[in-house]
């Protein structure tokens, strides 16, 4: 179990870097083209990874194809179309705050559709994590986030929340019949095919000839690290601890994004960063805390 938590935290750190890479790529090409190239890279990497781990690429049975198609439709096609579209106009901090509502949505859906029990620690941990993210992104002034209203870009990011929640919950069911690596690999392959027509309509052929090495480097990061490795690790977490509890780790993504800003860009550490980060980590710990088993009553002496 400790290895699962390490992989989940590592996935969130990598996904924190996607906000930087995503903004670079979104500024260089259209959203469907960016998403297609990301998952073309990811699909190639995952096929090799699956063949190495499982000695072959598992052939999908007919009854498994619907699961893989739905995963590709939600977690690849829809999420990334919303992701790259939203990042063209929404600041990374504001987008990260919206994404931070994902665990709450997943917890509600898990209770409704997967019959996962949400105990008192969920009731404390999820709001605490969300409050920490809110403190970090708003820099101590939550009301400032309400200025400017809700535009098209914000709606796209809310679309990410819906798509990712569906992807995670569908993945829980898919892994009953498929391994995490197989599920991720085939969802990426299906998602790639779903993205291709829209990417061609955007003129991806001309885009590929015009982008530079920096953009290609970010696409490789998004495809190999943020998709290939992180998706597989995230699915392992869902399988081990459940969709709602694994989903709470997504609150670490904005923390990781700000931390990378400190390390890479030399940004200062503020009191809101320190306090909000502590709240997020504490909320994740509370949500993943297992209740202590009740002790059996001692036998009364005769």
Q: What is the pLDDT of residues 55-103, one digit of tens each?
A: 777 777 777 788 889 999 998 999 988 988 888 877 666 677 677 667 6
Residue 74 has a pLDDT of 93
When pLDDT is cut at 50, 70 and 90, the band that residue 294 belongs to is very low
Find out whether 138 and 79 touch, Cβ atoms under 8 Å: no
Residue 79 has a pLDDT of 92
Q: How many Å apart are CA 24 and CA 221, to the nearest integer?
A: 12
Neighbours of 66 (CB within 10 A): 11
* Contacts of residue 176, Cβ cutoff 8 Å, sequence gap at least 6: none
The pLDDT mean for the chain works out to 78
180-225: pLDDT as tens digits: 777 888 888 999 999 999 999 999 988 888 888 889 999 999 888 8
99-142: pLDDT as tens digits: 766 766 777 677 666 666 667 777 787 788 778 777 776 767 77
What is the DSSP code string of 28-69?
Answer: TS-HHHHHHHHHHHHHHHHHHHHHHHHSS-PPPPHHHHHHHH
* Between 288 and 130, residue with greater pLDDT: 130
Residue 291 has a pLDDT of 53
Helix or strand (DSSP H, E) at 13: helix 2-26
The pLDDT of residue 297 is above 60: no
* Between 297 and 118, residue with greater pLDDT: 118
Pair of tokens at residue 186:
């085939």
Find out whether 12 and 260 touch, Cβ atoms under 8 Å: no
* Between 249 and 34, residue with greater pLDDT: 34
* Between 159 and 284, residue with greater pLDDT: 159
When pLDDT is cut at 50, 70 and 90, the band that residue 37 belongs to is very high
pTM: 0.73
Task: Report which of 225, 99, 223, 97 is spatially closest to residue 163, judged by C-alpha positions.
Answer: 99
Residue 221 has a pLDDT of 92
* Between 292 and 36, residue with greater pLDDT: 36
When pLDDT is cut at 50, 70 and 90, the band that residue 293 belongs to is very low
Sign of the four-CA dihedral 146, 148, 149, 150: negative
Burial class (CB in 10 A: 0-12, 13-18, 19+), 44: middle
Find out whether 59 and 50 touch, Cβ atoms under 8 Å: no
Residue 148 has a pLDDT of 55
- What is the DSSP secondary structure assignment for residue 88, as one 8-state letter? T
Q: How many Å apart are CA 106 and CA 95, to the nearest integer?
A: 18
Find out whether 255 and 136 touch, Cβ atoms under 8 Å: yes
């Amino acid at each position: 179990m400790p290895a699962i938590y390490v992989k989940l935290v590592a996935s969130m750190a990598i996904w924190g870097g996607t906000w930087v890479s995503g903004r670079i790529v979104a500024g260089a090409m259209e959203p469907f083209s960016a998403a297609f190239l990301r998952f073309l890279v990811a699909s190639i990497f995952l096929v090799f990874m699956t063949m190495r781990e499982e000695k072959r690429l598992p052939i999908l049975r007919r009854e498994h194809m619907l699961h893989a198609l739905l995963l590709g439709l939600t977690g690849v096609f829809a999420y990334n179309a919303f992701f790259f579209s939203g990042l063209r106009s929404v600041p990374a901090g504001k987008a990260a705050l919206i994404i931070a509502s994902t665990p709450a949505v997943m917890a509600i859906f898990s209770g409704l559709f997967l019959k996962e029990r949400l105990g008192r620690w969920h009731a404390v941990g999820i709001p605490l994590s969300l409050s920490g993210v809110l403190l970090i992104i708003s820099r101590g002034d939550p009301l400032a986030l309400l200025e400017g209203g809700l535009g098209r870009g914000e709606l796209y990011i809310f679309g990410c929340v819906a798509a990712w929640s569906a992807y995670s919950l569908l993945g829980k069911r898919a892994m009953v019949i498929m391994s995490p690596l197989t599920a991720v690999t085939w969802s990426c392959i299906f998602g790639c095919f779903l993205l291709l027509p829209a990417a061609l309509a955007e003129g991806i052929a001309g885009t590929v000839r015009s982008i530079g090495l920096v953009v290609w480097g970010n696409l490789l990061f998004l495809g190999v690290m943020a998709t290939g490795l992180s998706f597989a690790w995230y699915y392992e977490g869902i399988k081990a601890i459940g969709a709602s509890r694994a989903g709470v780790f997504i609150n670490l993504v904005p923390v990781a994004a700000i931390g990378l800003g400190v390390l890479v860009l030399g940004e200062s550490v503020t009191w809101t960063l320190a306090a909000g980060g502590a709240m997020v980590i504490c909320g994740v710990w509370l949500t993943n805390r297992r209740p202590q088993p009740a002790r059996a009553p001692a036998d009364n002496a005769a």
